């Protein structure tokens, strides 16, 4: 974990206290280093690894940490490190598949301030912002809101409006997007390629903080949003031009069991044409909750194949947190 502090942004990209009306030092201290250990036989170990390192952000007076969920899914142990070097074990309290947010409860006192949550409705394309990771000013990046638009991920994930920032933070997972007033605007999720002013640049995809408020109470009470789980197919799909093409299938998942193959083109869900990756996933979710039978029309080597997949609850494939 010590290696994460052996670098720094150039001085001109680091925020300076005199540039802000809020307490920059206090804001930087809300970020913690998150180190998760995942069993080798975990469902996600082959894709996400067994050791995951990223960031988290303190959002509650009891030290509650908000992060991006893929860092903590199936975690057996979690360690949280503060900017002052304090290390506390944490418990993976919740992972919401729909938003991508994860919550970690420290199993001791972090003694850190909590950041105030803002609203992404208050940030616009072109606005200046900060991406804050663990490590203080050296690991905080002055950035801008490059875009706000839909994002669809191959793992059956859609955000109606994600935030994209550039330049990109190299340790984006769980990093805090902080607005001009010092409020939390979102949590870092991915590194992506973004077209800006005719040039392709690296950007960070940020999950908007507005998505947390409607589900936070449910996550704290039961570890999941109070709504039926979405149908999951375990069908990793990508856009290839105007087509949605299966790039792979999860081992033992519904798509593999139904015989879906890499390279299949998905053209219809329940008889309705698919026009984009986001449209594909939304049409699947509209059929019914997890366990629903999903009618798909595929094209394989020029032949039309109609099949019905018995969907599943993604959570049922994952290891549950170990109770302390």
CATH (residue range 235-317): 2.30.42.10
Q: Spell out the residues 6+ positions from residue 39 whose beta carbon is closer than 8 angstroms to its own.
A: 45, 50, 74, 76, 319
Question: How large is the average pLDDT for residues 68-86?
Answer: 97
Q: How many helices (H) and strands (E) does the chain have?
A: 5, 18
Percent helix, percent strand, percent coil in the chain, to nearest 5: 20, 40, 40
pLDDT in tens, 103-160: 999 999 999 999 999 999 999 999 999 999 999 999 999 999 999 999 999 999 999 9
Q: Does domain 120-213 bear CATH number 2.60.40.10?
A: no
**pLDDT above 70 for 324:** no
Q: What is the average pLDDT score of the chain?
A: 95
CATH (residue range 2-114): 2.40.10.10
Q: What is the DSSP letter of 113?
A: P
**pLDDT above 50 for 315:** yes
**pLDDT above 70 for 275:** yes
**pLDDT above 80 for 3:** no
Can you give the pLDDT at residue 76? 96
C-alpha closest to that of 103 among 206, 189, 213, 219 = 219
Can you give the pLDDT at residue 5? 62
pLDDT in tens, 159-192: 999 999 999 999 999 999 999 999 999 999 999 9
Can you give the pLDDT at residue 1? 35
Residues of the chain with CATH 2.30.42.10: 235-317
Question: How large is the average pLDDT for residues 4-11?
Answer: 84
**Cα distance between residue 160 and residue 305, in whole Å:** 30
pLDDT in tens, 83-100: 999 999 999 999 999 999
Residues of the chain with CATH 2.40.10.10: 2-114, 120-213
SS3 162: strand
């Amino acid at each position: 974990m010590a290696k994460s502090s052996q670098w720094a942004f150039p001085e001109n990209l680091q925020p300076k206290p005199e540039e802000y009306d809020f307490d920059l030092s206090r804001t930087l201290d809300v970020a913690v280093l998150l180190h998760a250990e995942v069993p080798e036989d975990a469902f996600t170990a082959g894709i996400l690894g067994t050791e995951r390192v990223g960031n988290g952000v303190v959002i509650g007076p009891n030290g509650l940490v908000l992060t991006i969920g893929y860092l903590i899914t199936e975690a057996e142990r979690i360690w949280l490190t503060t900017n002052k070097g304090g290390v506390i074990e944490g418990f993976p309290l919740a992972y919401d598949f729909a938003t991508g947010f994860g919550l970690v409860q420290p199993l001791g006192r972090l003694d850190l301030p909590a950041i105030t949550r803002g609203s992404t409705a208050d940030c616009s394309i072109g606005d200046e912002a900060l991406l804050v990771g663990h490590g203080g000013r050296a690991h905080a990046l002055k950035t801008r809101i490059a875009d706000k638009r839909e994002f669809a991920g191959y793992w059956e994930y859609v955000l109606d409006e994600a935030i994209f920032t550039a330049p990109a933070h190299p340790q984006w997972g769980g990093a805090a997007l902080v607005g001009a007033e010092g409020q939390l605007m979102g949590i870092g999720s991915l590194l992506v390629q973004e077209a800006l002013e005719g040039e392709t640049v690296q950007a960070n995809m940020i999950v908007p903080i507005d998505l947390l408020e409607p589900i936070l109470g449910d996550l704290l009470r039961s570890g999941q949003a109070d709504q039926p789980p979405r149908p999951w197919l375990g069908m990793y799909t990508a856009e290839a031009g105007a087509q949605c093409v299966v790039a792979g299938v999860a081992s033992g998942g519904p798509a593999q069991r139904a015989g879906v193959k890499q390279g299949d083109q998905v053209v219809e869900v329940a008889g309705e044409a698919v026009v984009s990756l986001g449209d594909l996933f939304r049409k699947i979710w509209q059929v019914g909750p997890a366990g629903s039978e999903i009618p798909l029309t595929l094209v394989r080597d020029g032949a039309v194949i109609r099949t019905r997949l018995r969907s599943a609850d993604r959570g049922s494939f994952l290891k549950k947190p170990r109770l302390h």
